[in-house]
Amino acid sequence: MPSSKKSKSLVKKLFKQADVEIDGTRPWDIRVINDALYDRMIQSKNLGLGEAYMDGWWECDTIDKLVHRLLGARVDRSVSGNIAYIMPYISARLFNRQTKTRSREVADRHYDLDNDLFFTFLDMHYQYSCAYFNGTDDLNQAQERKLELICRKLDLQEGDRVLDIGCGWGGLARYMAEHYGVSVTAINISKNQIDYAREYCRGYPVEVRYQDYRDIGEQYDKVVSVGMFEHVGYKNYPVFMKTVERILADDGLFLLHTIGGNISGINTDVWIEKYIFPNGMLPSIAQISSAVEGLFVIEDWHNMGPHYDRTLMAWNRNFQENWHRLNGRYDLTFKRMWEYYLLSCAGAFRARHIQLWQILFSKCGRVQPLCRF
């Protein structure tokens, strides 16, 4: 059913503000296949835009550039959306969506997907987080430089006991043990990742556990968490930080690597929430600083957001080149969902709509670390 003239006119007006044309010829212009797109966008905003792409209702040569322009022009703030759009916000306000039980949902629906899916686009260290393109354009080198940067910030010393909260497939844990002579306890709640990490780290002083961060008991010299804090939820930030403070040695260091938002919210983008990371949310500077007040000294706050744009673009190139390895296991709708995920996130980072932070903490009273990085 075609959209109303009012919806079509409004969408065209909003797109014009972002220098995007309907059925234009530039790489970031969109080609409308189904005219019902306009009503869908007005009713469900970016949720409708993403779902319509999955359904083949529109095409664009460079989704990253399209999203960059839309977010840069703040088009997302110009339409209110319907009740389905705001339900995730209401749920996040009323309920703790990241309890021990609920936190398993993101593992079941995302991280426990076939490892082959992720390995079609990740680097040799299996890093599903922002790389560090410092003096290189190569994803493998950039991810290794990220790992090295983390180790230097933590001032790892041979014999240190390190806790890796949310260890993924074990890449960081193995790197720290192999290159710095530390022992690592790596915890995760994704069964697929744990099984792989145990094999990948075999022969190194790395113990991989199925464990929630709230259940940690031992003490550690250094603590690191990369790409996991986005699943903690604002209701649990104080518990997370108090747990780390309790288990960290008095002269220890804690490094948090997380995507962050420019404003304080309580839920994430509704399309990402529905299709990619259920129950996720991005912390703000205010939310993080409030959670650590009285617990830690902030030694360094490093914004690496532009590097995530490059990381996501590299992941999408790899995904497209290796899709043939997955063909038959996933349908075209899934492929469009995944590429929309990677490219729309790249556009969001490019628009400075979201950030990537590495934050280094020490316990109150500790001598300031040298910060040789």
Q: H helices within 82-222, ranges in order?
A: 83-94, 104-106, 115-119, 139-153, 171-180, 191-200
Report residue 171 as tokens.
């890449």
Task: Give the residue from 129, 159, 118 showing the smallest Cα distance to 356.
Answer: 129
345 is catalytic: yes
- Quote the radius of gyration of the chain (alpha carbons, Å): 21
CA 256, CA 275: separation in Å to the nearest integer? 25
Single-letter residue type at 226: V
- 112 Cβ partners below 8 Å, 6+ apart? 190, 191, 192, 193
Measure CA of the first residue to CA of the last residue in the chain; give whole Å.
Answer: 58
3-state secondary structure of 138: coil
Classify the phi-psi angles of 282: left when phi > 0, otherwise alpha if psi is within -120 to 50, otherwise beta.
Answer: beta
Catalytic residue among 130, 345, 364, 371: 345
- Residues assigned a catalytic role: 345
